[in-house]
Structure 1
Amino acid sequence: MTEQLLHHVEFGAGTPVLLLHGYTIDHRLLLPLEPVFAERDGWRRLYVDLPGSGRSPRLSGPVTAEAMGEAVLRFADKVIGDEPFAVVGISYGGQLARHLVAERGDQVLGTALLAPLVKPNGERVLPRREVLTRDEALVASLDPADREVFASIAVHQDETGWQAFRDHVLPGIRAHHREDAAALLKAYMLAEVPETRFGTHSGPHLLVTGRQDHLVGWRDQWELLEHYPRMTYAAVDGVGHNVHLDRPLVIQALLGDWLDTLAADASR
């Protein structure tokens, strides 16, 4: 039986960029990054739905971090082949992006890690939960199920924050497979920390965290820098877990600089 390819949306042509979303979301979470690429030629964007999310097939065996990583590797091998490529990973996708570096080495040009998962629950150093803006009337008007998940994640609970959440977060939450998500929670961390497998990676890397991110925090990610000698690190104020939705212009500027650095390296 032929293995079903992970669902993905593709834009542009040139150097492949694999974009990996987080837990219980789908590729639509990362589509707000498109304006960064629209300003630049030469990037083939592959927005992927991870197994059991969006329109992608479920895993055929146990749902573990290793199985998720293997599914992404198979996708990359089929769709990208042996071309050099870059990776953008947010939250859980950030762990998978680092796994790709461990597995594919110098074929990975660099990564952009947005609020990446690096430590298991219970071992993270987290800031206290903060809500920076809240429109009580708006929040009260929402469907109870939508209100619960929005209020549990968003630091900006106003009209702008809700529109971004509604358009880019909720669709994936509604589409993911609940049983698989519950199974993954029991084995969501890779058995081996990716950096222990390769030591250092010399490509350009970007790491963006939110000072108000109460889910994965911003302190633990600092430890990654010793493994990426050319990594830019930013802990952005006014930002929760969905960093690119809370301060889009700041994150887009950082991502654009990372892409320009990758392109400059390639031209040398």
Structure 2
Amino acid sequence: MFYLYQEQKLYYKVMGQGKPVLLIHGLGCSSELMEGCMEPIFERQAGYKRIYIDLPGMGRSDANAAFASADAILNLLLHFIDDVIGSSPFLLAGESYGGYLSRGILARKMAQVEGLLLICPVTKPYIKDRILPESDVVVSEPSFDMTGKDEEFFSVAILQTEKTYQRFEKEILYSLRMMNLPFIQKLQENYALSFDPDQEIQSHGYDNPSLFIAGKQDQIVGFQQLADLLHDYPRATYAVLDVAGHNAQIDQEELFTALAENWLRRIKTI
């Protein structure tokens, strides 16, 4: 289905009933990314209404140039929350750029967000400010046939197996081929929010259960600077997964699943 705001159609999918969970993917991807890693978890957890969205210019959403900035997308997401979720408490999960936008949402709607999950999130919007690991760790399955596989996979995958490739192809590569490239290029010019969401969160502190997951070999956003946020999240679990890059949820599926399930259990205690 679609949500319409100022001539921008935002695609979203709702699955299940219960407490709302808003899930936001990263740059150039689509809702398939978040659905791929989270649905296997929610299928075993009753009582959650999952709301997967495609950001503007990505997936099935329109590429209205007026929304090719972080501020415009955040404003759109805030209106989406008001109109689709309303004033109900909800859980918030974001991956990569979606993790950055999620902190923008948290800064504006902290009282509503009962739990926060960040998967390999952007911590520093400008690449020049990021601390990236110097690592050549790659683990390949001996039987993995690389013939005909897309090069994009080998540029980011740390664990290279038939299973991780199949997930990458279904959850990420498909989406990358759908994105509106001119829109993405314009968005990259306006990639940062006009305010620092982490400073605003710091001024209040966020004491609901949180989970930060990073890949030790993530050469896109890094992992070290994510730890700098921890003092503002007294109930955060911070996990740096070895043999994991920017798609840590795929590289280390079992660890990711265990941590996410623990996050949901912790939320039930509040």
> Same-fold call, TM > 0.5?
yes
Match of 2:247 among 242, 248, 255: 242
Give 1:128's aligned amino acid: E
Which residue is equivalent to 2:147? 140
Q: 1:163-242 counterparts in 2 under 5 A?
A: 163-199=166-202, 200-242=205-247
Deviation at 1:154, TM superposition (A): 1.3
- The answer (yes or no) to whether the contact 1:210–1:237 under 8 Å persists in 2 is yes
Which residue is equivalent to 2:159? 156
Which residue is equivalent to 2:130? 124
- The answer (yes or no) to whether the contact 1:15–1:85 under 8 Å persists in 2 is yes
Which residue is equivalent to 1:24? 28
- String of CA shifts for 1:109-132, please: whole Å, max 9, x gaps: 121000000112011111124352
- String of CA shifts for 1:137-172, please: whole Å, max 9, x gaps: 733323xxx32x112111123312211111111111
Deviation at 1:42, TM superposition (A): 1.1
Give 1:175's aligned amino acid: M
Deviates most, 61-70 or 236-245 = 61-70
- The answer (yes or no) to whether the contact 1:51–1:71 under 8 Å persists in 2 is no
Contiguous gaps of at least 5 residues in structure 1: none
- The answer (yes or no) to whether the contact 2:96–2:122 under 8 Å persists in 1 is yes
- The answer (yes or no) to whether the contact 2:65–2:183 under 8 Å persists in 1 is no
Contiguous gaps of at least 5 residues in structure 2: none
Distance 2:105 2:67 in 1: 20
Q: Quick one: structure 1 residues 237 and 97, their matched pair in 2 at CA, closer, same or farther if it must change by over 3 Å?
A: same
- String of CA shifts for 1:71-98, please: whole Å, max 9, x gaps: 2112111110111111110000000111
Deviation at 1:5, TM superposition (A): 4.5
Give 1:98's aligned amino acid: R
- String of CA shifts for 1:22-60, please: whole Å, max 9, x gaps: 000001011222121111111110111011110012235
Match of 2:105 among 100, 112, 116: 100
- The answer (yes or no) to whether the contact 1:135–1:158 under 8 Å persists in 2 is yes
Give 2:146's aligned amino acid: V
Give the TM-score normalised by structure 2: 0.91
- The answer (yes or no) to whether the contact 2:139–2:243 under 8 Å persists in 1 is no
Q: Quick one: structure 1 residues 88 and 45, their matched pair in 2 at CA, closer, same or farther if it must change by over 3 Å?
A: same
Give 1:68's aligned amino acid: I
Matched, 1:90 2:95: yes
Distance 1:185 1:95 in 2: 14
Q: Quick one: structure 1 residues 163 and 62, their matched pair in 2 at CA, closer, same or farther if it must change by over 3 Å?
A: closer
Give 1:22's aligned amino acid: G
Distance 2:135 2:44 in 1: 36
Distance 1:36 1:135 in 2: 26
Distance 1:46 1:62 in 2: 21
Deviation at 1:196, TM superposition (A): 1.2
Identical columns (%): 35
Which residue is equivalent to 2:15? 11
- The answer (yes or no) to whether the contact 1:21–1:89 under 8 Å persists in 2 is yes
Cα RMSD, aligned residues only: 1.6
Distance 1:180 1:129 in 2: 32
- The answer (yes or no) to whether the contact 2:67–2:73 under 8 Å persists in 1 is no
Deviates most, 105-114 or 155-164 = 155-164
Give 1:141's aligned amino acid: G
